[in-house]
Amino acid sequence: MTKRLTYTFDNGPWPGATEKVLDFLDRRAIKSSFFVVGRQFGDETGRRLVEAAHARGHWIGNHTMTHGEPLGRNGGIERVRSEIGETQALLGSLAHPRKFFRPNGGGSTGPHLLSPEAVDYLIAGRFTVVTWTSAPGDWIAPHRPWLEKALADVEESDWTVLVLHDRFIAEMMDTLEHFQNEMDRRGVEVVQDFPGSCVIVEEGVVNGPLGAISPVGVPGHAEPGAYR
């Protein structure tokens, strides 16, 4: 069975960095997804970068307005509307039709990602919640060891959804090139879509265990629908 790899880039856009990532993707004929932070594209420069990514065929998703405290730890309905809803409004027509949303949580999945209110909001709004299988730590000093972790994650999984960050990976483009060269050598197929295991909610329909991203469904917490 051929292994698959999906590239995703979080926390952008970052002027001076996102351009380098886009050039790499063009050069290697790769289509990816950018999960962007609202405050990063609220100005003209940031929006131009998101528009450039969209024009080149990359998918654009919502990664909250501020990338602050995870919504599973501080996710009342007003904050949910601000972090998710206002960002989606800013994205407008740049957003993928499936309304991709990726929660932030320090690189690890778990119930800290989304509050019950956030889950309910995402379901009611017909969002698609996308997680990941590999967040190898390109943001962690000294940064370059992400390579070994990512290679190991690819080895262990049939379909890797890789999380990198424009801001940090742009300073390691040689390492990124080396990684993709190794993917080519191993015969790993680079695709743009996501495996079902990383899509917990698909256009408002629960597609996986909510306990992987939220205390929803755990005894003592409300089920979706309780906050409408």
Q: Phi, psi at residue 115, to the nearest 5°? A: -80, 165
Examine the pLDDT at 207 and tell me if it is beyond 70. yes
Quote the CA–CA distance of 144 and 75 in Å, as a whole number.
Answer: 33
* Average pLDDT score over residue span 25-54: 96
- Residue 63 sits at the vertex; the CA angle it makes with 150 and 129, to the nearest 5 degrees, is 80
3-state secondary structure of 103: coil
pLDDT for position 221: 47
Share of the chain above pLDDT 70, in %: 95
Angle between helices 44-55 and 18-27 (to 10 degrees): 10
Please return the burial class of 220, using the count of CB atoms within 10 Å of its CB with bins 0-12, 13-18 and 19+.
exposed
Quote the CA–CA distance of 50 and 35 in Å, as a whole number.
Answer: 10
H or E element in which residue 36 lies: strand 33-36
Instruction: Give residue-wise pLDDT tens across range 48-100.
Output: 999 999 999 999 999 999 999 999 999 999 999 999 999 999 999 999 999 99
* Residues in contact with 178: Cβ distance below 8 Å, sequence separation at least 6, in sequence order: 147
Instruction: Give residue-wise pLDDT tens across range 182-199.
Output: 999 999 999 999 999 999
Q: What structural domains and CATH numbers belong to the chain?
A: 4-212 (3.20.20.370)
Examine the pLDDT at 161 and tell me if it is beyond 80. yes
pLDDT for position 219: 40
* Average pLDDT score over residue span 31-42: 96
Share of the chain above pLDDT 90, in %: 92
Return the closest-CA partner of residue 53 out of 85, 12, 90, 109.
12
User: pLDDT band at 217, cuts 50/70/90?
Assistant: low
Examine the pLDDT at 147 and tell me if it is beyond 90. yes
